[in-house]
Amino acid sequence: MLIRSLPPEERPLEKAELHGINSLSSSELLALILRTGAQNVSAVTLASDIVAACENGLGDLASMDFSDLTGIRGIGRAKAGAVLAAVELGKRISMSRRLGNHVISCSQDAAHVFMEKLRYEKKEHFYSVPLSTKGEMLGMGEVSMGDLSGTIVNPREVFTEAVRKSAASVVFIHNHPSGDPTPSRQDRSITDRLVWAGTILGIEVLDHIIIGDGIYCSFRALGYMNGA
């Protein structure tokens, strides 16, 4: 059934105007993003097909890419781009709200800032977060991006922004696409090297946090920083 054949009060746009955007189902929200259907299929039907492709729930959308979406019948590059843009905008809004308080006083603060940004990523992303003497975030630079098995981290690149901004300390954050934040042997080895490099530069490495799917691990909490 095409959207124009529905009663006005049941059409997503009209329903949002009458009852508020939060009254729409996930399929109806996606239909507004898609705007139009395809080949006698309504935007709501296409949106329902996208939701159905999220086997583990709507959170799967956060890890989809162009090939995933265009593999759904009726979804072309333009519609896929619109959906991905909406998802990315949601991530950035979530991140900006977390940055309202720029002070990192514990590992939980840092994990909270990066959780929604990194928990669904399919590749490993490594971030270096320089901090002032008061724990204020001076930046959040992505140092490297890898594949499913890991990422290459160069100490020179990791500390570039921290040195440039005269940071007193730094926190490292990266994600595990598997969803399990348990540190690997390589993670511990890299952290040892980075702590050593920080000591030479006079920049304290406060913590290295690994983001999983809704959970995280802190090297400091695990006691790994003491022996680094």
Is residue 148 in some structural domain? yes
Are 135 and 67 members of one domain?
A: no
Is residue 175 in some structural domain? yes
Are 133 and 176 members of one domain?
A: yes
CA 197 to chain CA centroid, nearest Å: 28
Mean pLDDT along residues 207-211: 96
> Per-residue pLDDT for 113 more than 70?
yes
* DSSP H helix total and E strand total for the chain: 10, 5
Are 109 and 217 members of one domain?
A: yes
CA 101 to chain CA centroid, nearest Å: 18
Are 183 and 117 members of one domain?
A: yes
Residues 6+ apart with CB under 8 A from 184: 150
Token code pair at residue 5: 């054949």
Rg (CA), the chain: 21
Q: Token match 């975030």: residue?
A: 137
Helices (H), 35-76: 43-53, 66-70
Are 61 and 36 members of one domain?
A: yes
Are 73 and 162 members of one domain?
A: no
CATH code for position 183? 3.40.140.10
pLDDT digits (tens, 9 = 90+) for 169-203: 999 999 999 999 999 999 999 999 999 999 999 99
Are 28 and 115 members of one domain?
A: no
Mean pLDDT along residues 82-86: 93
Look at strands 169-175 and 125-131 and give their pairing.
antiparallel
What sign has the CA pseudo-torsion 149, 153, 158, 160?
A: negative
Is residue 107 in some structural domain? yes
Is residue 228 in some structural domain? no
CB count in 10 Å sphere of residue 83: 21
Are 84 and 132 members of one domain?
A: no
Is residue 143 in some structural domain? yes
| Residue 228: per-residue pLDDT | 46
Are 145 and 213 members of one domain?
A: yes
| Residue 149: per-residue pLDDT | 56
Are 83 and 123 members of one domain?
A: no
From 95, 110, 145, give the residue that closes a domain.
Answer: 95
Residues 6+ apart with CB under 8 A from 110: 104, 129, 171, 173, 207, 209
From 64, 95, 126, give the residue that closes a domain.
Answer: 95
32-35 own/partner pairs: CB under 8 Å, 24+ apart: 33/82, 33/83, 33/86, 34/79, 34/82, 34/83, 35/82
> Per-residue pLDDT for 99 more than 90?
no
Are 123 and 203 members of one domain?
A: yes
From 95, 112, 145, give the residue that closes a domain.
Answer: 95
pLDDT digits (tens, 9 = 90+) for 137-176: 888 888 888 765 566 788 888 899 899 999 999 999 999 9
Domain span at residue 71 reads 3-95
Look at strands 204-211 and 169-175 and give their pairing.
parallel
Domains contained in the chain, number: 2
Is residue 112 in some structural domain? yes
Cα 130 to Cα 94, 101, 205, distances in angstroms: 21, 15, 9
Token code pair at residue 107: 């590992």
Is residue 81 in some structural domain? yes
Mean pLDDT value across the chain: 87
| Residue 131: per-residue pLDDT | 93
Are 207 and 187 members of one domain?
A: yes
Is residue 227 in some structural domain? no
Q: What pTM was computed for the model?
A: 0.63
